[in-house]
Amino acid sequence: MKPLEVLVIGAGPAGLSAAVRLLERGGARVRVRVVHLQDVLGGKAASWRDEHGAVVEHGWHMMVGFYENLFALMRRAGIERSQALASMQGESHCYEPADGRIHTMSSAGGRLAVAERFTRYDGLPFVDRANFARVMAEAFAIAGSGEPLRAHDDVCFDTWCVERGLRRHVTRYSIFRFLRLAYFNFPEQISAYHVLQTLAHTSTSDDAELFACRGPYTEMVWNPIGAYLERLGARIEPRVAVTDWVYEGDRIVGVRAGAALPTGPLTAPPVSRSVRACSASWTRWPPRPPACGTAAWTCWPGTASAGRCTHRS
């Protein structure tokens, strides 16, 4: 019988995993071609070295202990996890423009410690720390309660917290902004529903340990997975753009595959070693958190998944 021909569009984590699964399960019954836009495997999870040897990340920088499927895929591809990934040893580091220092937050101690750790984070003045920890404990409690979280989709997370007693200026600290920058890579407002969903996932796992790559992700993870994929029989083609999707109902029945515009590996912008360079989000130097009620307070419409942020304050 003629093998089923499958075109996998994309060589990020999703495309690579899908292609591997197809071949592991389908064997000789499928023929898989993987195409992607870039020169390097990994999509937004790619990272590589520039000409000075520095690691340049497209996006993804961390893996979390509960990425069981990815770890299993790495194992099947012959990647020794401890060789590729380094544990953060239960610590995260966060730069606070307010005092120009890097602060360390411990996440050791199991599930409950995830909320409690905020009380030990010394990047906030004590009174704000207690306030922040109380609101975050409530957020974790609601996230983990099993109640439907959709009800919290009509408001952005900042407002949701302020309504529960968070002192408004605390939303300007990195440790607060981290909740959407690190989880969503999005600098503007995010619906409370999405943040609570994320807290629910992170706090119900027994393994929320963070891992960083010991080198560029493409070299340490995606290339070995790509090599495994080729051993299984796939063809991987870089710099191919798929366009002109033809739909029949919700089924794609045709596409055009042509040469992608050359993007090349991205080069890193020049990085200033000065700490001040990181303070762009603060309007004055030395930065001080604005007093409650005076903070510039903006809301980005359309980021709550209901399509409209009903910022209530």
Ligand X SMILES: Cc1cc2nc3c(=O)[nH]c(=O)nc-3n(C[C@H](O)[C@H](O)[C@H](O)COP(=O)(O)OP(=O)(O)OC[C@H]3O[C@@H](n4cnc5c(N)ncnc54)[C@H](O)[C@@H]3O)c2cc1C
15 binds ligand X (CB under 6 A): yes
- Residues 105 and 79: beta-carbon distance below 8 Å: no
Query: Which is nearer to ligand X, 245 or 285 (by Cβ)?
Result: 245
How far is it, in rounded angstroms, from Cα 114 to Cα 103? 16
9 binds ligand X (CB under 6 A): yes
84 binds ligand X (CB under 6 A): no
70 binds ligand X (CB under 6 A): no
In whole angstroms, the minimum distance from the beta carbon of 298 to ligand X comes to 21
187 binds ligand X (CB under 6 A): no
The sign of the CA dihedral 224, 230, 234, 235 is positive
How far is it, in rounded angstroms, from Cα 147 to Cα 129? 27
In whole angstroms, the minimum distance from the beta carbon of 83 to ligand X comes to 19
10 binds ligand X (CB under 6 A): yes
One residue of 3, 4, 27, 59 binding ligand X per CB under 6 A = 59
In whole angstroms, the minimum distance from the beta carbon of 165 to ligand X comes to 30
241 binds ligand X (CB under 6 A): yes
38 binds ligand X (CB under 6 A): yes
Q: What is the CA radius of gyration of the chain?
A: 22
11 binds ligand X (CB under 6 A): yes
In the chain, % helix, strand, coil (3-state, to 5) comes to 40, 20, 40
61 binds ligand X (CB under 6 A): yes
Phi, psi dihedral angles at 104 (to 5 degrees): -110, 135
In whole angstroms, the minimum distance from the beta carbon of 263 to ligand X comes to 9
In whole angstroms, the minimum distance from the beta carbon of 224 to ligand X comes to 16
In whole angstroms, the minimum distance from the beta carbon of 62 to ligand X comes to 4
Cβ neighbourhood burial of 303 (10 Å; 0-12, 13-18, 19+): buried
The Cα-based distances of 45 to 60, 82, 182, 210 in angstroms read: 5, 19, 14, 16
The Cα-based distances of 197 to 49, 152, 192 in angstroms read: 34, 10, 8
One residue of 36, 117, 167, 194 binding ligand X per CB under 6 A = 36
Query: Which is nearer to ligand X, 46 or 161 (by Cβ)?
Result: 46
In whole angstroms, the minimum distance from the beta carbon of 124 to ligand X comes to 24
One residue of 62, 108, 246, 252 binding ligand X per CB under 6 A = 62
Q: How far is CA 171 from the centre of its chain?
A: 20
Pairing label, strands 91-96, 240-248: unpaired
Binding residues (CB under 6 A) for ligand X: these are 9-15, 35-38, 43-45, 59-62, 185, 240-242
